[in-house]
Amino acid sequence: MTTANKVHAQWSSRMGFVLAATGSAVGLGNIWKFPYMVGDSGGAAFVLIYLACIFLIGLPILVGEWLLGRRGQKNPIHTMQQLAADNHRSRVWVLVGLGGVLAAFLILSFYSVIGGWSLAYIKDAVTGNFSGQDGDGIGAIFGGLLASPGLLIFWHSLFMLITIGIVARGVTGGLEAAARTLMPALGVLLVLLVIYGMTTGGFMDALAFMFKPDWSQLNGGIVLAALGHAFFTLSLGMGIMMAYGSYLGEDVSLLQSARTVVIMDTVIALAAGLAIFPIVFANGLDLGQGPGLIFVTLPVAFGNITAGWLVGVAFFVLLTFAAIASAISLLEPVVEFVEERTPLSRMGATLVSGVAAWALGILALLSFNVLSDFTLLGLGIFDLLDTLTSKFLLPLTGLGVILFVAWCLDKEQVRQELGLDIYDFSLWNLIARYIAPIGVLVVFFANL
């Protein structure tokens, strides 16, 4: 992806665009974060609220970001600047772009730590460490990793180095081609793991846990978590999707593309849950153990099926790949920001941004061991970074996007841009003007 103000190239096809957006969307958020959030928040009630947030709030905001990007034809900050000026609106809208860059930077720092866990697990799978292990054995392997700052730093550094290397060389285009084959492969592996789940005896419990709601479990904090994760998983509120939209031709249907991306993202997250929870129930593991969940469950399957080590290697390679694709999309806007405001070259800007995120990531990973007692606002550093972004920055910048699209742009132009007739457009308007923003506002302020 190139920098601002140049005359933009465009995606070669709708397919290329959808693949790139999916590459950013599908990642650790689906396979690592979604399942442990479901486990932490008591199951189905969270899942159903999350699905409502995805379709009523996430999807319109995704369309909104693409629409703004295609309209502005610039990077997110300049796009907001220009569209605000064109439509005689205040300059405060630029904050939406700035908040997005900050969020991307903060997320990258801890995302790389988890990407590092995935790399570490490739090594464990290759060396056969999972074979024959039960839940306790796998738990010990994961515990050993978490307790070792040296190991965590090593794998986090390797993950960040790969990300920096790809972004610095500007070869991100090649990733689309890779995504074309690797993403379906990841899907197939997840399906295999769901089938394995069916043989464990824990599958019915898992289904009930994920889809039979116990509404008494629900509280405002859980709803905010679901909303925040809807933004996180669709890569919203960071200007990333806005940047993609700026490369988009007029002939591509925003609504259709958004539906494709959202459905793929959702299916992968739900499949991850259906692969993981049967193992949790069958082995009597702890549902609410937080970020370690996939790392102590899936290897039980890899350790106990024929050629499981190979399946394990394939799984963590694909997961790492999906994580790198997302990490690249997180680093990109930060690099662009730095490149534009400093005399640094692209290479220099990538190094500075990447190394800064890497350093912050080290603080985050130390909160799993030596700094585990250190808290700010009652949260460890890792949790603080996660909370600040998913529950605070992303909902606010996402809200900015949808308010701007729905209230500040010319309605008739938006209708044409979406290719809707008057009837369908009134539904869009209802959602974009009222349902989505009021939903975000209510959830957000109810939690303050």
User: Which of residues 265 and 336 has its CB atom nearest to Na ion in the complex?
Assistant: 265
Which residues, in sequence order, are bridge partners of residue 156? none
Among 265, 332, 336, 386, binds Na ion (CB under 5 A): 265
Concatenated DSSP letters for 64-133? Answer: HHHHHHHHH-S-HHHHHHHHHHHTT--GGGHHHHHHHHHHHHHHHHHHHHHHHHHHHHHHHHHTTTTTT-
The residue range among 12-20, 178-186, 232-240, 416-424 that interacts with ligand PHE, by the rule CB under 6 A, is 232-240
Among 80, 94, 240, 385, binds ligand PHE (CB under 6 A): 240
| Smallest separation (angstroms) from Na ion to the CB of 25 | 4
| Smallest separation (angstroms) from ligand PHE to the CB of 132 | 31
Helix (H, G, I), strand (E, B), or coil: what is residue 284? coil
The residue range among 159-167, 234-242, 306-314, 335-343 that interacts with ligand PHE, by the rule CB under 6 A, is 234-242
What is the dihedral sign for C-alpha 434, 435, 437, 441?
positive
The residue count of the chain comes to 448
The residue range among 26-34, 56-64, 217-225, 283-291 that interacts with ligand PHE, by the rule CB under 6 A, is 26-34
Q: Which of residues 269-328 bind ligand PHE (CB under 6 A)?
A: 326
Among 4, 18, 114, 330, binds ligand PHE (CB under 6 A): 330
Among 109, 118, 129, 233, binds ligand PHE (CB under 6 A): 233
| Smallest separation (angstroms) from ligand PHE to the CB of 238 | 5
Residue 396's nearest CA partner among 352, 342, 448, 332 is: 448
Measured distance CA(109)–CA(356) in Å, rounded: 8
The listed partner (Na ion, ligand PHE, none) that binds 112, CB under 5 to 8 Å by sort, is none
- Examine residue 54 and tell whether it contacts Na ion (CB under 5 A): no
Measured distance CA(237)–CA(103) in Å, rounded: 8
The two three-digit tokens of residue 210, written as one number: 């994920």
- Examine residue 30 and tell whether it contacts ligand PHE (CB under 6 A): yes
Among 23, 29, 139, 361, binds Na ion (CB under 5 A): 29
**Residue number closest to ligand PHE, CB atom:** 29
Q: Give the residue ranges of DSSP H helices in 342-435.
A: 346-366, 381-388, 394-403, 411-418, 422-429
User: Which of residues 65 and 417 has its CB atom nearest to ligand PHE in the complex?
Assistant: 65
Residue 87's nearest CA partner among 411, 332, 391 is: 411
How far is C-alpha 408 from the geometric centre of its chain's CA atoms? 28
The listed partner (Na ion, ligand PHE, none) that binds 330, CB under 5 to 8 Å by sort, is ligand PHE
- Examine residue 97 and tell whether it contacts ligand PHE (CB under 6 A): no
Query: Which amino acid type is present at position 383?
Result: D
What is the dihedral sign for C-alpha 347, 110, 321, 262?
negative
Helix (H, G, I), strand (E, B), or coil: what is residue 376? strand
User: Which of residues 23 and 97 has its CB atom nearest to Na ion in the complex?
Assistant: 23
- Examine residue 398 and tell whether it contacts Na ion (CB under 5 A): no
Long-range contacts of 415-419 (CB under 8 A, 24+ apart): 417/67, 417/70, 417/71, 417/254, 418/63, 418/67, 418/254, 418/255, 419/253, 419/255
| Smallest separation (angstroms) from Na ion to the CB of 438 | 25
The residue range among 23-31, 73-81, 159-167, 307-315 that interacts with ligand PHE, by the rule CB under 6 A, is 23-31
CB 278 within 8 A of CB 260: no
| Smallest separation (angstroms) from ligand PHE to the CB of 269 | 8
Residue 273's nearest CA partner among 72, 44, 91 is: 44
Could you count the other beta carbons within 10 Å of the beta carbon of residue 360?
18
- Examine residue 233 and tell whether it contacts Na ion (CB under 5 A): yes
The residue range among 7-15, 52-60, 168-176, 230-238 that interacts with ligand PHE, by the rule CB under 6 A, is 230-238
- Examine residue 28 and tell whether it contacts ligand PHE (CB under 6 A): yes
- Examine residue 25 and tell whether it contacts ligand PHE (CB under 6 A): yes
CB 404 within 8 A of CB 96: yes
| Smallest separation (angstroms) from ligand PHE to the CB of 115 | 10
| Smallest separation (angstroms) from ligand PHE to the CB of 429 | 27
How far is C-alpha 29 from the geometric centre of its chain's CA atoms? 4
Which residues, in sequence order, are bridge partners of residue 376? 379
Q: Which residues bind Na ion (CB under 5 A)?
A: 25, 29-30, 233, 265
Q: Which residues bind ligand PHE (CB under 6 A)?
A: 24-25, 27-30, 107, 232-233, 235, 238, 240, 326, 329-330
